[in-house]
Amino acid sequence: MPDKINLSNISIVLHKPRHPENIGAAARSMCNMGLSQLVVVNPKNYILKKVLKLATHEAADIVEHVKFHEDLKEALSEYNYVVGTTARLGGERQVITSPSRLAEKLVSVSRKNRVAIVFGPEDKGLSNEDIRHCHILVNIPTAEFSSLNLAQAVMIICFEIFTAGRKENEGFAPRLANRHELDGMYDQLKDILVRICYINHENPDYWMNKLRHFFTRMQLRAREVSIIRGICRQIDWYGKKCYEDGLKEKKKEQNITRVNRKYEARNTKH
Ligand code: SAH
């Protein structure tokens, strides 16, 4: 079946924007390109008058319906697919794609999944901690000076999404696990891996970050997360069972030894 991008499933998330004018200009870019859901996390200065001035009358509706959050993790909990945008490359910033490849991917992903595209603050961009929430990172190629103005970066990504949406595509689009489901799975995995001594209880996050990278590459579906959580529950159950069986066995052995001792004691008396 021909597949069209579902723009209503795609949100633009501005994390800690510092300048209200950039929020307004980002809303205008979204409006130009047919996107309407804007999420703003912990803005530094939210001065509505300044936001609206750059948004123009056309994008005022987007500004009126902005969803505000205090915290990025909470803001992303309902999304199934999280895209981070970064001017910087290297280090933890792996699995980088281009805006056009991202847009092509979103054609199928957005059909059944809620997608968040996260932009960082103007001064520092997204931190390593922030990008751990992302399934994929996108970089807008530039000449040597890589840092674009926030609203211009939003425009380029929205333009690519809009353009990809006009082409018809074929694609299989399963429902991916959302952030809430993934975070639950990571908590459960961490707990079980510490308890079976696979990861060091003093520094569990070192290994968990590696596992997060691995699972992020896999793009887990909701059903697959349930399977992994089921395996964790089974390991937990089996560990407890072995422990309880061991206790029972020990008790049995103690009873046998006690009976033997009694028997030996009686025999030596006679
Ligand atoms: N100084 C920061 C850039 C901040 S610009 C840094 O070096 O990371 C504000 C935001 O605009 C970035 O967090 C990112 O979301 C977006 N952005 C700017 N330039 C970009 C680029 N070349 N590719 C992708 N996103 C970019």
- Do 86 and 161 belong to one domain? yes
Q: Which residue among 136, 165, 194 closes a domain?
A: 165
- CATH code, domain carrying 222: 1.10.8.590
What is the per-residue pLDDT for 1? 45
Q: Tokens for 20?
A: 């209200």
Q: Which one, of 139, 77, 64, 127, lies nearest residue 102 by Cα?
A: 139
- Do 185 and 156 belong to one domain? no
Probe residue for ligand 1, chosen from 40, 148, 149 as the CB with the greatest number of ligand atoms within 8 Å: 148
Angstrom distance (rounded) from CA 10 to CA 139: 18
Measured from the CA of 138, which atom of ligand 1 is nearest?
24
Nearest Cα residue to atom 22 of ligand 1: 87
User: Is 258 a domain residue?
Assistant: no
Q: Which one, of 125, 118, 124, lies nearest residue 102 by Cα?
A: 118
- Do 28 and 150 belong to one domain? yes
CA of 125 to the centre of ligand 1 (A): 5
User: Is 264 a domain residue?
Assistant: no
What is the per-residue pLDDT for 166? 83
- Do 236 and 122 belong to one domain? no
Identity of the residue numbered 198: Y
For ligand 1, is residue 155 a contact (CB within 6 Å)?
no
User: Is 262 a domain residue?
Assistant: no
Angstrom distance (rounded) from CA 154 to CA 15: 12
CA of 85 to the centre of ligand 1 (A): 7
Low-confidence ranges of the chain (pLDDT < 70): 1-3, 94-95, 168-173, 269-270
CA of 140 to the centre of ligand 1 (A): 9
Domain of 228? 179-251
Nearest Cα residue to atom 8 of ligand 1: 125
User: Is 134 a domain residue?
Assistant: yes
Angstrom distance (rounded) from CA 23 to CA 29: 10
List the alpha helices (DSSP H) in the chain: 20-32, 48-55, 60-64, 72-76, 99-112, 128-131, 150-166, 179-195, 204-218, 222-269
The answer to whether 5 and 34 have CB atoms below 8 angstroms apart is no
What is the per-residue pLDDT for 91? 75
For ligand 1, is residue 87 a contact (CB within 6 Å)?
yes
Given strand 115-119, what is the order of strands in its sheet?
67-69, 37-41, 10-15, 115-119, 81-85, 136-138, 96-97
Count CB atoms within 10 A of the CB of residue 146: 14
**Full-model pTM:** 0.75
Domain total for the chain?
2
- Do 158 and 242 belong to one domain? no
For ligand 1, is residue 148 a contact (CB within 6 Å)?
yes
> Residue 80 region, left (φ>0) first, then alpha (ψ -120 to 50), else beta?
alpha
- Do 69 and 126 belong to one domain? yes
- Do 110 and 46 belong to one domain? yes
- Do 131 and 161 belong to one domain? yes
3-state secondary structure (DSSP) of residue 77: coil
Probe residue for ligand 1, chosen from 147, 156, 157, 161 as the CB with the greatest number of ligand atoms within 8 Å: 147
What is the per-residue pLDDT for 270? 63
For ligand 1, is residue 125 a contact (CB within 6 Å)?
yes
